[in-house]
Structure 1
Amino acid sequence: MEHVPLASITASAPSQAAADWASDEARLHGLPLRVVHEPPQDFGEARMVVHSVRREEFANSRTGAAPLLTAAVERAARPLVFVPDDLSGVPHLAGVTVGVDARAPSGTAIDFAFECARIRGSGLHVVHAWSLPASAADLPFGIPEEDRATWEDQEVQQLADALRPWREKHPQVPVLEDVVLLTQTQALLHFSAGAALVVVGQQHGADRGEMMRSLVHEAACPVAVVPS
């Protein structure tokens, strides 16, 4: 039998916000909920692990809970959902937002996001962030509008190609594809205000660690990190 366990990455007891979110998620999946106050070594066949976090402990990337988050993400064997303690009492929205790099999409993150949207009966907002080519900075009179439009069209096509297998697998899930000229962090923070959950794939490196810290510290909804 599967479980949807709830754990805390801080020394404190899990917050009410995390407990409420995990309870709702277990109900949606039709699974039992196992609540633990200290993360065990083995979560068995858990569908996901829900962590309660205190936002103020993520203000500094080198102190507090930020290093614990990075370590938890690095060794994760199943999706981790981080629920900030100040979300208690916030209305639970239906939609799911997933960050996708169209050039190197995380299949497990996309699949998880589609499944989360499916069980909620909601739409899926897919966000692909892109940047102008480095050569654009050398243009003497700025970027011609037709060049920018061409580059953006290429990004749109890449995202459509990357999502095609999952759209065919989940035809019942409405999908909004969004290509934005922002960083991935900026885009996901912006769209988190209208989401029930933001989903990202597990990636390594200092930049990705900083992105995760920013999302957990500032996002307006829980954040799920899905291992590859």
Structure 2
Amino acid sequence: MRTGPGSPPDPSRAEVIVCGVRADGRPLDSRLPAAVRAADCPLVLVPDGAASPHLRGTVLVGADARSPCGDTLDFAFDSARMRGALLHVVHAWSLPSCAAEWPFAIPERERATWEDHEVQLPADVLRPWRRKYPHVPVYEDVVLLAPARALMHHAQSASLIVVGTSPGTGWGEVVRALLPETVCPVAVVPARSTS
């Protein structure tokens, strides 16, 4: 389902909604009806004036391995499968709050322990999707950055960026940060309620 300048879309009947947005992202909220922003299907935001999509680029997905969203990972894996593309999974993490209590630099042993734990998380989380999509090549990337910065760091080589969102929360800071910085579509995949 695509939106256009004539009639507003009916998100309740859509499997995917595709919307053109200004590349700078500033008028995003005013251009899209609230019903679209609250849709429970994936919403693909395509910046106006973007270069022709390079389908051979990677599919980049932001995945919080502590609280993984199956809908987001399904969408990302399936998108990579359809494109015959590499799936680049980015798990961003930050130092635990106790790190701020160290009077000097964080001991290397402590940091290495935290990092080893973070590296293991996406490996465990992605195992069922690797089995479900055995022909999709996957690159797991664990970075000590804020989520938006971690994705923007790799956005130039992506044909699609996939991020998840919780029901009723809108697009969040990651999407708002990405839109002004990328020329490829950004897919926002809401987690379906399990209740």
User: TM-score if structure 2 supplies the norm length?
Assistant: 0.87
- Out of 87, 91, 111, the position equivalent to 1:128 is 91
1:6 maps to what in 2? 2
2:137 maps to what in 1? 174
Q: Compared with structure 1, are the counterparts of its residues 105 and 68 closer, same or farther at alpha carbon in structure 2 (3 Å cutoff)?
A: farther
Q: Compared with structure 1, are the counterparts of its residues 72 and 197 closer, same or farther at alpha carbon in structure 2 (3 Å cutoff)?
A: farther
What are the Cα deviations for residues 62-103 of structure 1, in whole angstroms up to 9, with x where unaligned?
xx3236569456511211100001213464443101100001
1:141 aligns with 2:109: no
Partner SS, residue 127 of structure 1: strand
What are the Cα deviations for residues 36-87 of structure 1, in whole angstroms up to 9, with x where unaligned?
x43322563x44111001123x33xxxx323656945651121110000121
What are the Cα deviations for residues 138-180 of structure 1, in whole angstroms up to 9, with x where unaligned?
1122111221111111011111111111011111101000000
2:76 maps to what in 1? 113
What are the Cα deviations for residues 179-220 of structure 1, in whole angstroms up to 9, with x where unaligned?
0000111111111111000001122558x6222211222223
Q: Distance in 2 between matches of 1:132 and 1:76?
A: 34
Q: Distance in 2 between matches of 1:157 and 1:189?
A: 23
Give yes or no for contact 2:76–2:87 (8 Å, CA) kept in 1.
yes
RMSD between superposed Cα atoms in Å: 2.2
Q: Compared with structure 1, are the counterparts of its residues 54 and 77 closer, same or farther at alpha carbon in structure 2 (3 Å cutoff)?
A: same
What are the Cα deviations for residues 105-137 of structure 1, in whole angstroms up to 9, with x where unaligned?
010000010000001111100000000011111
Q: Distance in 2 between matches of 1:72 and 1:93?
A: 32
Gaps of 5+ in 2: none
User: TM-score if structure 1 supplies the norm length?
Assistant: 0.75
1:94 maps to what in 2? 57
Q: Percent identity?
A: 51
1:50 aligns with 2:18: yes
Greater fraction of residues in helix: 1
What are the Cα deviations for residues 3-51 of structure 1, in whole angstroms up to 9, with x where unaligned?
xx2214xxxx5xxxxxxxxxxxxxxxxxxxxxxx43322563x441110
Q: Compared with structure 1, are the counterparts of its residues 211 and 136 closer, same or farther at alpha carbon in structure 2 (3 Å cutoff)?
A: same
Runs (4+) of structure 1 exceeding 6 A deviation are none
Question: Which is bigger in relative contact order (C-alpha 8 A, separation at least 6)?
Answer: 2
1:197 aligns with 2:166: no
Partner SS, residue 87 of structure 1: coil
Q: Distance in 2 between matches of 1:142 and 1:172?
A: 43
Give yes or no for contact 2:2–2:18 (8 Å, CA) kept in 1.
yes
Gaps of 5+ in 1: 14-36
1:224 aligns with 2:187: yes
Q: Distance in 2 between matches of 1:144 and 1:185?
A: 27
The size of the alignment, in residue pairs, is 190
2:66 maps to what in 1? 103
Give yes or no for contact 1:93–1:194 (8 Å, CA) kept in 2.
no
